Structure 1
Amino acid sequence: MSALEQVKKLSREEVLDKIAALGIEEYGLVNQKLSDRLVAAVQESKEEGKETGVVCALNNADTDGVLLEVLRSEPEKVLEGIAIAAYVLESENMVLYIPDYAKETAEDERLNQAADKYQVTLQTGLVDVRASQGKALLHLITAAELADAFNDSYEPEIFVSVNGQALQKVSCETKIADLVSLEGAKAVQLGYQYYTPAEAEELTVASAGITNGVIRVLAEKDCIVAETEKRLSASRMLSCGKCVFCREGLIQLTHMQKETAAGKGKAEFLDMTQEIGEAMTFSTPCTMGQTSSLIALSAVQKFGSEYEAHIKKKACPAGVCFSTETIYIDPKTCDGCGECMDVCSLDCIEGKAGYIHMIDDIDCDRCGKCMEVCEAGAIQKTSGKLPKLPNRLTKVGRFKKR
């Protein structure tokens, strides 16, 4: 007998009682008992005068999608769990959302057969939280756990993928240090944010709040700034852009990461990241805005020294950002013609007619245009030690090494 068939032999109150007795909690970011969430959905639908139902999906902010493996491997279990939740709500309105980046999953034959069997509508894209008022929003793992509960196989465990490896289910009390080696680690991404190795060592998978299944170790060769920019860019690509705080916040946070990685960061970026990130966390209706900013917030809060190195010293501790080459003007060869100044779009060359020109290495993006127009061949590029250069404007032929 299937789980749904067993459920339909019980009253809705009996089903809720069993869910409550098992202590099943919503797997997503909202820390709420599933029984309470289902009851709240019914109450909200009455208050708002809207039809209730079940909306199942990953968190909107989940750009990794590692938990989709559960849907791919056991589609019928997830769909049956959705149907059980709908039975409790006395509704036939059931929708399963699949992210746009996983459209091939939505086309899977086994999933579509299960959707037809349980009369669940499949859609791609993000969940519109506002439009879903009155409905029970469930994480797809919660739906799978609901089916397990009435197959008498439910265990309160957590799915994790360690450093991109196969998804596994582990006890809630499993320590992060038992899953990954923290030796030589710079940072550990747990869920949607970074932790220091010392912090990670003390955490279990439950206390870390890993709701997207991601455990990833960053080594010394990994740049926090560059990695954070990648995470934010992925969120921008997925965001619907309808909410101002989320849309504009992601634009600003991504821009500041890119500028910092390019050697154009500013000290005020750290405070701005804090301000924008916190505003997104509290002022957006769905997980895209609420959690996509956490990666940037945790980066600047816990690895501020790496940002300071990029901004103040123009140095990337991991050796990932910035060119290893430097462009300079040879004071012995420069004839003070000024051609290089005319082509520098960043205005980072200082000089005047008859004086040895100087390049501001902080602003220089090493485009090489100045080298192309210098007929004297005075502008050089090197990855080694720079020769002695003037620190103030000096007439051509007057510079002497000291």
Structure 2
Amino acid sequence: MGALEHAKTMSREDVLKKIAALEIQESGIHAGPLTAHFDAALAENAEEGTDLAAVAALNNADTDQVLLEVLKNDPEKIFEGLAIAAYALGTEKTVLYVPEAETALAESLADTAAKYQTEVKAEFLNIRENKGNALIHIVTCADLADAFSDAYTPGVYVSVNGGEVKKVAADTKIADLADTEGAKALLLGYRLHQPEDAQLTAAEAGIANGVVRVLTEKDCIVAETEKKLTASRKQSCGKCVFCREGLIQLQYMQKETAEGRGKMEFLDLTKEIGEAMCCSTPCSMGQVSAEIALTATELFGKEYEAHIKKKNCPAGVCASFVNIYIDPKLCSGCEECVDVCPKDCIEGKAKYIHMIDDFDCTKCGKCMEVCPEDAIVQTTGKVPKLPNRLTKVGKFKKY
């Protein structure tokens, strides 16, 4: 007997009692007892006076989308779980949202969706249009299907450093999930943490999007934060002022800092804008996308100070603070670097010391990869005296 068939042998009240007895939680950023989540949805629906639908999706703020693997790995389970949620809520209308870019996935689900009479949409979930519906996380659907197959085990779905998504016990410590030796920071869900927070359990860490990532000294906090905010800007629908304008400002300040034009007042401004976004927007995109910037500036202020005051990226990642030059003592004039430079910004000919034009150089590092003499150096420090015109190999003396 399938999970849905099993659930339908029970009354709605008994289904809800079983969900409560198993202490099944709503997943994502709205974590809490699922029965309370259902009650809140029913109360809102009564106020709106609309036809109730059970709607499954990832949180809008989830730009990593690692939890989408739960759907991809077992679509039938998700559709069954969604249908069970609808039955418990007293409706037959079900809708499944997948991210806008996942049109191929949506098409691949057509047959299963028809079997369960579920509408599948590849688009951003509009919270206003779905007011009065019961919004359920995709992972919650998987838990419901497991519950009525008598296969449910409580836990948290995680992907460690981009690896396979797996369900772990809620009391599992982050230190037992990931090697944190040499860690500079931990990205747990939407927030950055100090390395000592590896002693938190998976439940305590609030990993709403499944992401567990270890950042080392080779990772730049500013660059990583800017990357996350850029992804949020791309995914945001842009209809809410606080979310749209807040993301623009937060991402701009990170970009300016990474490019050497940062200001110390950006830290206070990030706090002001980020906190306003968290409480002034209707969906998870505005509510949690600012958390990466808030935790970055709060916990790693020294790294921002290094970028702003010392004009230095401690991780050596931000290209604006990195210099690449050709060591005239080591260059053999082989022309390998000239051939691979995508910007044609290396001047040189056979048996002459080559020179890099700093103005056009993007610091892509391709020249470093092919140099047989390891003569091309990347540094955040001072660049030594270099030739200013083509000079034969071994003839440059002002070093």
* TM-score range relative to shorter protein: 0.7 to 0.9
Match of 2:148 among 150, 163, 177: 150
List structure 1 runs of 4+ shifted beyond 2 angstroms.
Answer: 101-104, 323-327
The letter of the residue matching 2:238 is G
Where does residue 201 of structure 2 map in the other structure? 204
Equivalent residue for 1:384? Answer: 383
- How far apart are residue 180 of structure 1 and its match? 1.1
Query: Residue by residue, what CA displacement relative to the aligned partner does 1:330-351 show, whole Å, maximum 9, x if unpaired?
Result: xxxxxxxxxxxxxxxxxxxxxx
Determine the structure 2 residue equivalent to 1:290: 287
Among 271, 275, 278, the residue aligned to 2:268: 271
- Aligned to 1:107, the other structure's residue is in SS state helix
What is the rounded CA distance, in whole Å, between the counterparts of 1:166 and 1:31 in structure 2? 22
* 2:15 aligned partner: 15
* Residue in structure 2 matched with residue 261 of structure 1 by the alignment: 258
* TM superposition shift of 1:132: 1.3
Contact persistence 1:324–1:383 (CA under 8 A)? no
* 1:138 partner SS: strand
Q: Distance in 2 between matches of 1:28 and 1:117?
A: 27
Structure 1 match to 2:53? 53
Q: Give 3-state SS (helix, strand or coil) of 1:101's partner.
A: coil
- SS of the residue 2:185 aligns to: strand
| CA–CA separation in structure 1 for the residues paired with 2:40 and 2:258 | 46
Q: Do the aligned residues in 1 keep the contact of 2:260 with 2:321 (CA within 8 Å)?
A: no
Question: Which of residues 309, 312, 333 in structure 1 aligns to 2:309?
Answer: 312
- Structure 1 residue 107: Cα displacement: 2.2
Select the residue among 234, 237, 243 that pairs with 1:240: 237
Cα shift at 1:102: 2.5
Equivalent AA in structure 2 for residue 258 of structure 1: K
- Partner in structure 1 of residue 175 of structure 2: 177
| Equivalent residue, structure 2, for 1:377 | none
1 CA distance for matches of 2:384 and 2:299?
Answer: 33
Match of 2:5 in 1: 5
Tell whether 2:92 aligns with 1:95: no
Mapped pair 1:62 → 2:62: yes
Alpha-carbon contact 1:41-1:134 (below 8 Å) kept: yes
**Separation in 1, partners of 2:244, 2:193:** 26
Q: Matched residues in 1 for 2:105 and 2:185: separation?
A: 32
RMSD in angstroms over aligned alpha carbons? 2.0
**Deviations for 1:4-56, whole angstroms, at most 9, x for unmatched residues?**
11111211111111111111110011132111222222222112212211111
What is the Cα deviation at residue 169 of structure 1?
1.4
Tell me the CA shift for residue 192 of structure 1.
Answer: 0.6
> Matched residues in 1 for 2:78 and 2:324: separation?
56
Name 1:340's counterpart in structure 2: none
Structure 2 distance, partners of 1:71, 1:19, is 21
Instruction: State the AA in 2 paired with 1:256.
Output: M
Provide the residue aligned with 1:85 in structure 2: 85
Conserved 8 A contact 2:313-2:321: no
Whether 1:140 and 2:138 are equivalent positions in the alignment is: yes
Structure 1 residue identity aligned to 2:23: G
Contact persistence 1:188–1:196 (CA under 8 A) = yes
Structure 2 counterpart of 1:213? 210
Partner Cα distance (2:37, 2:179) in 1: 37
Alpha-carbon distance between aligned partners in 2 of 1:260 and 1:8, rounded to the nearest angstrom: 57
Q: What is the deviation of 1:383?
A: 5.5
TM-score with structure 1 length normalisation?
0.80
CA contact (8 A) 1:306 1:316 kept: yes
Q: Alpha-carbon deviations, 1:232-255, whole Å to 9, x = none?
A: 000101000000000000000000
Counterpart of 1:167 in structure 2 is 165
Give the AA of the match of 2:153: E
Contact 2:311 2:321 in 1 (8 A): no
* Structure 1, unaligned runs of 5 or more: 328-365, 369-381, 388-402
Aligned to 1:115: 113
Residue number in structure 1 paired with 2:390: none
Cα distance change, pair 326–146 in 1 and its aligned pair in 2 (3 A) = closer
Separation (CA, whole Å) in 2 of partners of 1:195 and 1:106: 35
Residue 101 of structure 1: how far off its partner (Å): 2.9
TM superposition shift of 1:90:
2.1
How many percent identity over aligned positions? Answer: 57
Displacement after TM superposition at 1:386 (Å): 7.4
| Contact 2:99 2:123 (C-alpha < 8 Å) held by counterparts | yes
